[in-house]
Amino acid sequence: MKKDKREFLTEVELEFMTHLWRLGQGSVRDVLGQLAPERDLAYTSAATILRILEQKEFVTSTKKGKTHIYKPVLAKDAYQSRSLKALSEKLFDDTPTMLIARLVDDYNLTEEALEEIRALIEKRLKNDTD
């Protein structure tokens, strides 16, 4: 399996990981119970997705009776960082300022949101000079 295939999640894998991150851990049935009812995903399909996540080393599983309990290995914030870095490299010429500029330009950010961003930047600048 190619390395980058193992590093990133497909859309459905991300959906499952999001539920596992929220749950902390869970069985196939636990994750299925988190999906929207209209999703109508078969138990076997959900089990396959969780096994793939285990093969990709995003989750580990332990057996509890006949049930496998899946637990995230990678924290959500670590995956967010990995994904943003890859996006910045591939789509924004490895220039994070271009990525941030696009977000600021494309999202109709409130003054409050912009102030939060300014506060984060000022905090980072202060910490770098200390």
pLDDT in tens, 63-95: 999 999 999 999 999 999 999 999 999 999 988
C-beta atoms surrounding 28 within 10 Å: 21
Measure the N-to-C terminal CA separation of the chain; round to a whole number of Å.
Answer: 44
Per-residue pLDDT tens digits for 91-130: 999 888 888 888 888 888 899 999 999 999 999 998 877 6
Q: Are residues 103 and 85 in the same domain?
A: yes
Using the predicted structure, report yes or no on whether residue 1 has a pLDDT greater than 70. no
Q: Are residues 57 and 85 in the same domain?
A: no
Q: Return the structure tokens found at 71.
A: 């637990």
Q: Are residues 9 and 27 in the same domain?
A: yes
Domain count of the fold of the chain? 2
Structural domain range at position 27 = 3-72
Distance in angstroms (rounded) separating the CA atoms of residues 83 and 8 = 7
Distance in angstroms (rounded) separating the CA atoms of residues 80 and 91 = 16
Q: Hunting for tokens 């497909």 — which residue is that?
A: 10
Note the pLDDT of residue 108.
86
Amino acid at 14: L
pTM exceeds cut of 0.85: no
